[in-house]
């Protein structure tokens, strides 16, 4: 059927003026964007700022954009062959050039770079990836006589894929956990990689925590970082004023954050949707501003320094020598190395994150979690069934806040220094992005998204200044192609026929 | 006079069309929204183990009566008393969601309100929330997977399975509720309300949008609920084949006032009803039933 349809549409002649118009419009838009953003570059010159023009890059951007659009039009009009035969060699040449630049080092690289429209390899790699996707689509169209899938088919296909990933997660989860457990002892795991690992795990934990509030209960919380801050400051203040240790403070910080969550939630949770999002955003900022201005207590913008590092469960310290007690190295007869503490911190956050994960997995099978999901679906129906909406939402808010509090006190002890600057709105946005990107309610999705959003930018240092741009672009693409999130697939919490009988037959 | 004494006099003095013992007494119910009077001094009684239908033209205030009964609105004036085996409840004094939780009044909605992205079975389990919350020790004990909770959950599944069989949806138990055909969704919503184990079931236009076969099935289901579960059913309906076919007692509202109250036979021949439905001229039929 698809073949006949494709042949039918093939007969349609190409509407050249319309295509030219579309290409012209594309070129114009890209030119308008690129002229200001790419065309001029400010330079530090002695005595002020100079301006460098990059009109070559503007021309390049317009050319690449128009060519890409042409390829899209041809694919849409069922003429994949020119895309395949022109695109494939072009992509291959660029690939070879890029590879030789990376392989042969700077000298040959400089000479080869003259052949490429843009100087930044990252931009070129990006363009190459898009080109390769187009060529693959063209190839698919040539062999299958159709230009890909309709949105519905794609959605259904992605859902099946997500379902498969989630089923695989039963196997993949322990595998990933196993990898995380041996990771610090792998030969390539140096201090930098361990730090990235700790950072990613912190965000995974925060993502899992927020997933309870946003993914399960459907409460869009834009001020999640406030509870992270409450946890961090609870520990930091208790440790510096009262000299309490990390292990004593950890539950206390969680409790403080949960209390803050319930107190904030109480007046706020009668709001729904966008209104709730705006108010939580405001509360998040309020907490930060209080921390910033209550100088006598929180030392304001100076932050709190000298936060004690965690001990080895109160038995030994991770230092070269101690006044009293033993050091970790002495306890186990090792030679002292600063990496030991990093490894310990890595395991600590891994354990904390796993607590959140196990908690979420278990609570999904309990009535309270089903009530969260039901409230997300239809609050009125819940009231008619005798579910108390306020208390149920407050539990979700409080539990989410508690986990943020745990993560916050870990953050404080790891950094040794905190200031309100660490708890700005952008942190909330990143955590929310992890949840949204991964797919609401998907545990493995959060892991994947955290690695993509936190781990990869750490590797691609060059992207640093484009990081937010790439971030925004990724979000737009997700919203276009997969609004529910990358790995969004809801697995029923209970089945009448067991998992095997009708697996995948649902949704 | 205490609330119980009042209720007692009402109950003994009651003579409800269609028979039965009074389950629900509505007295002088008035609901105003600003200047608009949606219900104006309506009194009626609904009997236990009987199907009571509330009918009337659009905008007569039928759904507003339901919203007052089920705690969604607080009535401006009036007393709504439920004569429950566990004791008497004054519904107008109970906070919203507790009407279903403690008084045992369950309802369905005119526009279906299922949890579309949860499965059919999950919809029925959520309806048993309060029972399961107690069994899970308000989540704390449930986290440790205690046997008490697992048993309670098994019982909840059994109750759900029982209702799934009644509404012929056992095969689709693990499908998303939102993916069901319209008629199935209607029946599922009734089953979900029944899973709260109510004493009074309020159905807001359960036959809307159903075809002839489906509304026949619905009649059978409602009769089954009345006869086997021995609870009172209160029904808003426009479909006269359903109303005349299964109701024991009909109350007719028009412009917020009660204009007729009696058995289907009495209501069918009541000139006030004929006027309200068909205008001033006299006709022999009240509807298509």
- ipTM for the predicted complex comes to 0.83
Co-location of A289 and A352 in the same domain = yes
Report the distance separating Cα A114 and Cα A92, nearest Å.
Answer: 17
Cβ separation B113–A384 shorter than 8 A: yes
What pLDDT, on a 0 to 100 scale, did the predictor assign at position A504?
A: 39
Of A434, A447, A388, A507, the C-alpha closest to B177 is A507
Question: Which CATH class name applies to B1-104+198-289?
Answer: alpha beta
Cβ separation B130–A492 shorter than 8 A: no
Cβ separation A363–B143 shorter than 8 A: yes
CATH of the domain at A181: 1.10.3470
Co-location of A409 and A438 in the same domain = yes
What pLDDT, on a 0 to 100 scale, did the predictor assign at position A403?
A: 94
Structure tokens at B274: 């004929």
Distance from CA of A446 to the nearest CA of B (A): 20
Cβ separation B170–A506 shorter than 8 A: no
Co-location of A411 and A361 in the same domain = yes
Co-location of A247 and A329 in the same domain = yes
B121: nearest CB among A368, A385, A494: A494
Residue of B111, B139, B197 best to disrupt the A interface, most CBs of A under 10 A: B139
- Cβ neighbours of B132 in A, within 8 Å: 366-367
- Cβ neighbours of A366 in B, within 8 Å: 132, 136, 139, 142-143, 149
B25 at the A interface (CB within 8 A)?
A: no
Tens digit of each residue's pLDDT (9 = 90 or more) over A218-265: 888 888 999 999 999 999 888 888 878 888 888 999 999 999 999 988
- Cβ neighbours of B153 in A, within 8 Å: 494
Looking at the 3D structure of chain A, how many domains does it have?
2
Co-location of A171 and A198 in the same domain = yes
pLDDT band at residue A58 using 50, 70 and 90 as cut-offs: confident
Cβ neighbour number for residue A306 with a 10 Å cutoff:
9
> Is a pLDDT exceeding 80 seen at residue A171?
no
Residue A504 lies in a domain: no
Say if CB A84 and CB A142 are below 8 A apart: yes
B162 at the A interface (CB within 8 A)?
A: no
Domain boundaries, chain B: 1-104+198-289, 116-197
Distance from CA of B145 to the nearest CA of A (A): 8
Residue A50 lies in a domain: yes
Report the distance separating Cα B242 and Cα B240, nearest Å.
Answer: 5
- Cβ neighbours of B115 in A, within 8 Å: 373-374, 377-378, 381
Distance from CA of A391 to the nearest CA of B (A): 11
Lowest mean pLDDT among A50-64, A195-209, A319-333, B203-217: A319-333
Report the distance separating Cα B23 and Cα B6, nearest Å.
Answer: 14
Cβ separation B129–A493 shorter than 8 A: no
What pLDDT, on a 0 to 100 scale, did the predictor assign at position A505?
A: 37
What pLDDT, on a 0 to 100 scale, did the predictor assign at position B280?
A: 61
Provide the 8-state DSSP code for A243.
-
A368 at the B interface (CB within 8 A)?
A: yes
Structure tokens at A423: 């708890």
Cβ separation B109–A374 shorter than 8 A: no
Report the distance separating Cα A75 and Cα A81, nearest Å.
Answer: 9
Residue of B89, B98, B122, B136 best to disrupt the A interface, most CBs of A under 10 A: B122
Co-location of A107 and A178 in the same domain = no
Q: One fold for both B1-104+198-289 and B116-197?
A: yes
Report the distance separating Cα A269 and Cα A400, nearest Å.
Answer: 14
Co-location of A343 and A457 in the same domain = yes
Among chain B residues, the shortest Cα distance to A360 is held by B143
The residues in B 64-123 lying below 8 A from A, measured between CB atoms, are 70-72, 96-102, 106-107, 109, 113-119, 121-122
Co-location of A117 and A177 in the same domain = no
Cβ separation A368–B106 shorter than 8 A: no
Co-location of A354 and A458 in the same domain = yes
> Is a pLDDT exceeding 70 seen at residue B248?
yes
Co-location of A138 and A35 in the same domain = yes
What pLDDT, on a 0 to 100 scale, did the predictor assign at position B288?
A: 46
Of B38, B48, B66, B28, the C-alpha closest to B237 is B66
A170 bridge partner residues:
none
A386: nearest CB among B118, B129, B138: B129
Residue A361 lies in a domain: yes
Q: State chain A's mean pLDDT as an integer.
A: 80
Co-location of A413 and A459 in the same domain = yes
B130 at the A interface (CB within 8 A)?
A: yes
Co-location of A167 and A254 in the same domain = yes
pLDDT band at residue B3 using 50, 70 and 90 as cut-offs: low
Report the distance separating Cα A88 and Cα A139, nearest Å.
Answer: 9
Q: Tell me the mean pLDDT in the region A190-199.
A: 85
Cβ separation A385–B100 shorter than 8 A: yes
Structural domain containing residue A411: 153-490
Lowest mean pLDDT among A76-90, B64-78, B136-150, B272-286: B272-286
Residue A507 lies in a domain: no
Q: Which residues contact B3 (CB under 8 A, 6 or more apart)?
A: B81, B88, B90
Residue A318 lies in a domain: yes
Provide the 8-state DSSP code for B137.
T
Of B231, B243, B19, the C-alpha closest to B106 is B231
Q: pTM value?
A: 0.77
Residue A499 lies in a domain: no
Please spell the DSSP secondary structure of A258-314, one letter per residue. Answer: HHHHHHHHHHHTTS-HHHHHHHHHHHHHHHHHHHHH-HHHH-GGG-EE-PPPPPBTT
Cβ separation A386–B98 shorter than 8 A: yes
The angle subtended at Cα A434 by Cα A430 and Cα A435, nearest 5°, is: 120
Sign of CA dihedral A149, A151, A156, A158: positive
Cβ separation B115–A381 shorter than 8 A: yes
What pLDDT, on a 0 to 100 scale, did the predictor assign at position A41?
A: 78
Tens digit of each residue's pLDDT (9 = 90 or more) over A305-337: 888 877 777 677 776 666 666 777 777 777 777
CATH homologous superfamily for the domain B116-197: P-loop containing nucleotide triphosphate hydrolases (3.40.50.300)
Say if CB A83 and CB A67 are below 8 A apart: no
A386: nearest CB among B100, B117, B149: B100
Residue A502 lies in a domain: no
């Amino acid at each position: 059927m698809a073949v006949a349809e494709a042949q039918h549409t093939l007969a349609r002649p190409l509407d050249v003026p319309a295509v030219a118009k579309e290409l012209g419009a594309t070129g114009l838009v890209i030119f308008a964007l690129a002229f200001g953003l790419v065309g001029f570059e400010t330079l530090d010159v002695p005595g002020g700022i100079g301006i460098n023009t990059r009109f070559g890059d503007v021309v390049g951007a317009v050319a690449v954009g128009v060519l890409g659009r042409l390829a899209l039009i041809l694919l849409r009009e069922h003429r994949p062959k020119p895309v395949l035969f022109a695109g494939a060699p072009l992509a291959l040449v660029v690939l070879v050039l890029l590879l030789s630049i990376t392989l042969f080092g700077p000298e040959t690289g400089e000479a080869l770079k003259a052949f490429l429209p843009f100087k930044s390899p990252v931009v070129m790699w990006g363009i190459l990836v898009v080109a390769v996707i187009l060529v693959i689509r063209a190839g698919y169209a040539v062999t299958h006589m159709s230009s890909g899938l309709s949105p519905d088919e794609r959605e259904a296909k992605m859902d099946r894929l997500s379902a498969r990933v989630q089923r695989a997660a039963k196997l993949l989860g322990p595998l990933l956990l196993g990898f995380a457990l041996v990771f610090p002892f792998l030969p390539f795991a140096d201090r930098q990689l361990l730090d990235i690992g700790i950072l990613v795990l912190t965000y995974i934990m925060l993502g899992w925590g927020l997933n309870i509030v946003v993914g399960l209960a459907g409460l869009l919380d834009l001020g999640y970082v406030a509870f992270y801050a409450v946890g961090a400051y609870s520990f930091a203040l208790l440790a510096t004023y009262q000299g309490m240790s990390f292990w004593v403070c950890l539950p206390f910080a969680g409790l403080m954050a949960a209390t803050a969550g319930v107190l904030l939630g109480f007046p706020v949770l009668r709001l729904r949707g966008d209104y709730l999002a705006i108010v939580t955003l405001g509360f998040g900022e309020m907490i930060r501003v209080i921390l910033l201005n209550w100088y006598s207590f929180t030392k304001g913008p100076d932050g709190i320094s000298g936060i004690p590092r965690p001990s080895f469960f109160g038995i030994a310290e991770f230092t070269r020598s101690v006044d009293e007690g033993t050091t970790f190295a002495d306890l186990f007869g090792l030679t002292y190395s600063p990496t030991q503490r990093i490894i310990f911190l890595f395991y600590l956050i891994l354990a904390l994150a796993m607590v959140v994960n196990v908690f979420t997995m278990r609570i999904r099978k309990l009535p309270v979690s089903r009530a969260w999901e039901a409230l997300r679906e239809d609050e009125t129906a819940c009231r008619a069934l005798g579910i108390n909406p306020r208390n149920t939402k407050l539990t979700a808010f409080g539990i989410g806040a508690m986990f943020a509090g745990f993560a916050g006190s870990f953050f404080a002890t790891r950094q040794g220094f905190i200031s309100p600057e660490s708890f700005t709105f952008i942190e909330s946005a990143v955590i929310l992005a992890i949840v949204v990107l991964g797919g609401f309610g998907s545990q493995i999705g959060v892991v994947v998204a955290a690695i993509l959003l936190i781990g990869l930018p750490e590797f691609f240092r060059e992207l640093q200044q484009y990081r937010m741009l790439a971030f925004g672009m990724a979000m737009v693409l997700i919203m276009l192609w997969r609004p529910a999130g990358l790995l969004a697939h809801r697995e029923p919490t209970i089945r009448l026929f067991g998992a095997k009988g009708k697996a995948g037959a649902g949704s | 006079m205490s609330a119980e004494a009042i209720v007692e006099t009402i109950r003994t003095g009651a003579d409800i069309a269609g028979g039965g013992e009074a389950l629900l007494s509505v007295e002088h119910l008035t609901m105003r929204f600003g200047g608009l009077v949606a219900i104006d001094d309506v009194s009626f009684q609904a009997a236990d183990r009987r199907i009571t239908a509330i009918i009337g033209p659009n905008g007569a205030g039928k759904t507003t009566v339901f919203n007052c009964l089920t705690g969604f609105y607080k009535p401006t004036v009036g007393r709504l008393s439920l004569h429950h085996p566990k004791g008497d409840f004054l519904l107008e004094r109970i906070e919203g969601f507790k009407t279903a939780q403690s008084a045992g009044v369950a309802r369905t909605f005119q526009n279906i309100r299922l949890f579309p992205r949860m499965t059919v079975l999950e919809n029925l389990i959520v309806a048993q929330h309060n029972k399961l919350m107690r069994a899970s020790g308000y989540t704390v004990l449930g986290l440790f997977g205690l046997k008490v909770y697992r048993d309670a959950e098994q019982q909840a599944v059994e109750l759900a399975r029982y209702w799934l069989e009644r509404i012929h949806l056992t095969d689709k138990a693990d499908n998303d509720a939102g993916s069901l055909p319209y008629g199935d969704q209607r029946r599922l919503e009734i089953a979900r309300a029944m899973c709260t184990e109510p004493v009074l079931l309020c159905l807001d236009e359960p036959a809307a949008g159903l075809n002839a076969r489906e509304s026949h099935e619905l009649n059978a289901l409602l009769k089954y609920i009345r006869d086997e579960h021995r609870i009172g059913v209160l029904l808003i309906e426009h479909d006269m084949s359903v109303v005349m076919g299964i109701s024991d007692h009909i109350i007719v509202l028009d412009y917020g006032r009660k204009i007729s109250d009696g058995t289907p036979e009495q209501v069918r021949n009541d000139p006030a009803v004929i006027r309200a439905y068909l205008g001033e001229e006299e006709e022999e039929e009240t509807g298509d039933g």
